[in-house]
Amino acid sequence: MDAILLQILNGLDKGSAYALIALGLTLIFGTLGVVNFAHGALFMIGAFCAVTMQKLLSLEKVALSETEKTPWGTPAEIRTPYITDWFGDFGTVLLEYSVLVSILLAVPLMMIVGVVMERGLIKHFYKRPHAEQILVTFGLAIVLQEIIKSWFGANPIPQPAPDALRGMMDFGAWMGFQAGTIVYPLWRFVYFLFAAGIIGAVFCFLQFTTFGMVVRAGMADRETVGLLGIDIDKRFTFMFGLAAVVAGLAGVMFTPIVSPDYHMGMDFLVLSFVVVVVGGMGSLPGAVAAGFLLGILQSFASMNEVKQIFPGIDQIIIYLVAIAVILLRPRGLMGRKGVMET
């Protein structure tokens, strides 16, 4: 029982990341009809916002020591972070919370990245075939990740969570089980809440603002909305930026869980497309539900008891689900009937 509960928690967590990425992908596909293979790269850039912030905060004043030497004989360097120099203890706290602080960097930066991407590249591909969209965004993804690699190297860069959020939560004690059996890292719980918050915010935005309503109308029928004299293009550009921000924030907050490296976007790319398809192309709730569902299924498939019966099932479960869904219910879990249902 406790094993199952733990795997559900694991699944929720992984699912949060899948859901956030798939949400952005679906938003882009739904509004612009573009298959964006660079979306994983946006997630990765978000993660590297956290790295950048950490590096910025820990920028050091370098002085050469007169007495100490490195093992290879050059004078040793004495390093003091500027931030502690300037702010004293508050600087140390800032450094401690660098992951959270980097959200401040990620939101505007990802918005800019998204808007530039849409205006500079994607917009020219609305009417082009999917294959060409895939190719050009895939090329962009490679370029982005190679730029990150040449800057930050290929090795993962650790991003510790703040000390206060590093502990464990005892779910077992909450739910009346024996204490200590169902424990879960606090940061992962934070990630889940964060993801839930973002998803909620995006839905509210689309549901309750005029802007959101126009965009939803545009998703349903772009031409008609255009005829009403509404400049739908500007709004779609903003939607692309929003999708980039969502992916970026998913990346920022993910860094304490999986140390970011330049390739992490590609690792999530295939998976996030599967999530979108399982959820139903163009369905936002579907993307979210499928994200969580696949996360949980993947966790269950990794249990030893399951793997003993089906060896290797944990490596292919996602694909099996995708095949089953596409064949049996091509519009996905929550896709509208008739949308790309062939």
Partner 1 sequence: MLEKLRNNDTAIMLAFTAMVLLGPIILAPFGAGYPDLLQRFAIFGIFAVGFNILFGLTGYLSFGHAAFLGIGSYMAVWSFKLLSMSVIPAIILAVLLSGLFALVIGYVSLRRSGIYFSILTLAFAQMCYNLAYSVLTPITNGETGLKVLSSDPRILDGASEGLPLPSVLGLRMIDTWRGSFLGMDVQFNVGFYFCAVILIIAFYISLRIFRSPFGLMLRAIRTNQARLNYTGINTRPYALTAFVISGMYAGLAGGLMACTDPLAGAERMQWTASGEVVLMTILGGVGTLIGPVLGAGFIKYFENIFSKINDNVLSGFLDFLPETLREGVVWVMGAFVGEGWHLTLGLLFMIIVIFLPGGLVEGFNRIIAWFSRPKGGDKATARVPAE
Partner 2 sequence: MSGNRFTRRGLLKTGATLGVGLAAPSFFVRGAHAYVNEPTGSTVTLGFNVPQTGPYADEGADQLRAYQLAVKHLNGEGDGGMLNTFSSKALQGNGILGKKVAYVTGDTQTKSDAARASAKAMIEKDRAVMITGGSSSGVAVAVQGLCQEAGVIFMAGLTHSNDTTGKDRKKNGFRHFFNAYMSGAALAPVLKDAYGSDRRAYHLTADYTWGWTQEESIAASTEAIGWETVQKVRTPLGAGDFSQYITPVLNSGADVLILNHYGKDMVNSLTQAVQFGLRDKQVNGKTFEIVVPLYSELMAQGAGENVKGIYGSANWDWKLPDEATQAFTKSFGQEYGSPPSQAAQTGYVQAILYADAVERAGTFNPCEVIAALEDYEFDGLGNGPTLYRGADHQCFKKVLVVKGADNPTNQYDLLEVVSEVPVEDVTYASDHPMFAGGELGSCNPGA
Residues that bind partner 1 (CB under 8 A): 35, 121, 124, 128, 130-132, 134-136, 138-143, 146-147, 150, 270, 273-274, 277, 281, 311-312, 315-316, 319-320, 322-323, 326-327, 330, 340, 342
Question: Residue 35 touches which of partner 1, partner 2, none (CB < 5 to 8 A by kind)?
Answer: partner 1
Number of residues that bind partner 2 (CB under 8 A): 49
* Contact predicate 282/30, CB 8 Å: yes
Question: Residue 118 touches which of partner 1, partner 2, none (CB < 5 to 8 A by kind)?
Answer: none
Give me the phi and psi of 68, to 5 degrees please: -80, 150
Question: Residue 183 touches which of partner 2, partner 1, none (CB < 5 to 8 A by kind)?
Answer: partner 2
CA distances from 255 to 22, 59, 102, 228 (A): 18, 20, 11, 44
Establish if 70 lies at the interface with partner 2 (CB under 8 A): yes
The residues near 77 (Cβ < 8 Å, ≥ 6 apart) are 62, 63, 64, 65
DSSP string computed for 96-126: HTHHHHHHHHHHHHHHHHHHHHHHHTGGGGT
Taking the alpha carbons at both ends of the chain, their separation in whole angstroms is: 41
The residues near 245 (Cβ < 8 Å, ≥ 6 apart) are 106, 107, 110, 111, 114
Nearest residue (CB) to partner 1, 243 versus 274? 274
Tell me the β-bridge partners of 170: 183
Nearest residue (CB) to partner 1, 53 versus 113? 113
Residue 97 corresponds to which tokens in the numbers above?
Answer: 């919370």
Smallest gap from Cβ 103 to partner 2, in A, equals 20
Smallest gap from Cβ 314 to partner 1, in A, equals 9
Smallest gap from Cβ 177 to partner 1, in A, equals 34
- The dihedral formed by the CA atoms of 211, 216, 219 and 222, expressed in degrees to the nearest 10: -60
The residues near 243 (Cβ < 8 Å, ≥ 6 apart) are 23, 24, 25, 27, 28, 39, 42, 114
Angle, alpha carbons 157-182-247 (nearest 5°): 40
Q: Out of 236, 261, 279, 294, name the contact with partner 2 by CB under 8 A.
A: 261
* Contact predicate 41/322, CB 8 Å: no
Smallest gap from Cβ 173 to partner 1, in A, equals 38
Smallest gap from Cβ 45 to partner 1, in A, equals 15
Binding mask 280-319 for partner 2 (x = CB under 8 A): ------------------xx--xxx--x------xx----
What single letter denotes the amino acid at residue 119? R
Smallest gap from Cβ 128 to partner 2, in A, equals 29
Establish if 7 lies at the interface with partner 2 (CB under 8 A): yes
Question: Residue 209 touches which of partner 1, partner 2, none (CB < 5 to 8 A by kind)?
Answer: none
Which residue carries 């910025």 as its tokens? Answer: 56
Which residues form the interface with partner 2 (CB under 8 A)?
Answer: 2-3, 6-7, 9-11, 13-14, 17, 70-74, 149, 153-158, 160-161, 166-168, 181, 183-185, 187-188, 256-259, 261, 263-264, 267, 298-299, 302-304, 307, 314-315
